[in-house]
Chains A and B, each alone.
Chain A
C-alpha cells in the first residue's frame, strides 16, 4: 500500500458514492448512462469473484464488497426505482460492441488460462472502456450536470493515480502487471479529453 494506491482507491470510492447520492437525492438518473453502470457492475462482479477463493486483507475485502454493493445499488436505482427518469433514448451505445471484443481479448491475452484469471482479465479490459457509453451519451446530449462531471473526474483520477502506484511498485517492489498497466493507460487516456473540459470549463459541461 502506498499513497497513490490509497488515494486512488478513495477517489474511486468517492466517484461511486457521489453518483449514488446524486441519483438518490435528486430522485433522478437523468444524464446518467445506465449501460456504463451495468458494465461497471459486470466489471466488479467478474474481478472480485476471488473474494470466494483468496483473502488479501480486511481492507481489500471491505472495499470489494462496498464497490460491488454500490454498483448494484446504482443499477437498481437507474433501472428500477427511478426508471421513469432514465434517459434511455440517449443511452444508445451498444454494450455488445465492448463486451464481445473484450471477452475475446481476455481469452487471448492473459496471465493464466484459467476460469477466474480470464474473468479477472476480462474485468480489467472492460473497465478501461466501460465509461464509453457515458461519454457517448454526453456527446449526444451535449451537456453534463455539475455533479456528473465531479463523478467522472474522480472516476478518471482513480486510474491515473493507479498509474503512479504502478510506477511506485515497480521501483520499490519490482512489481509489475503488464495487463493492468496497459489497460490502465488506455482507461486514463479516454478521460483526457474530459479532464481538459473539466479544468477549463469547470463543473457543468456543455459542448
Chain B
C-alpha cells in the first residue's frame, strides 16, 4: 500500500 490517511508520522 502507498499512503493511507490519517498520517502516522510526526
Contact = CB atoms under 8 A, between A and B. Distances in A.
Decide whether A and B assemble into one complex: yes
Nearest to A54: B6
B3 A111 contact: yes
A176 interface: yes
Contacts of A175: 1-4
A63 interface: yes
A120 B5 CA distance: 11
Interface string A37-58: 0000000000000100110100
Interface in A46-77: 50, 53-54, 56, 60, 63-64, 67
Contacts of B4: 175
Interface size class of A (residues with CB under 8 A): 20 to 34
Contacts of B7: 50, 120, 177
A9 B5 CA distance: 20
A167 B10 CA distance: 16
Contacts of B8: 56, 60
Contacts of B9: 5, 162, 165, 177, 180
A9 B10 contact: yes
A173 B1 CA distance: 8
A174 B6 contact: no
Nearest to B3: A177
A50 B10 CA distance: 11
B10 A176 contact: no
Given A63-B10, A111-B5, 13 more contacts: A12-B10, A50-B6, A50-B7, A60-B8, A67-B10, A173-B1, A174-B2, A175-B2, A175-B3, A176-B2, A177-B3, A177-B7, A178-B3
Interface of B: 1-10
Interface of A: 5, 9, 12, 50, 53-54, 56, 60, 63-64, 67, 111-112, 117, 120, 162, 165, 173-178, 180
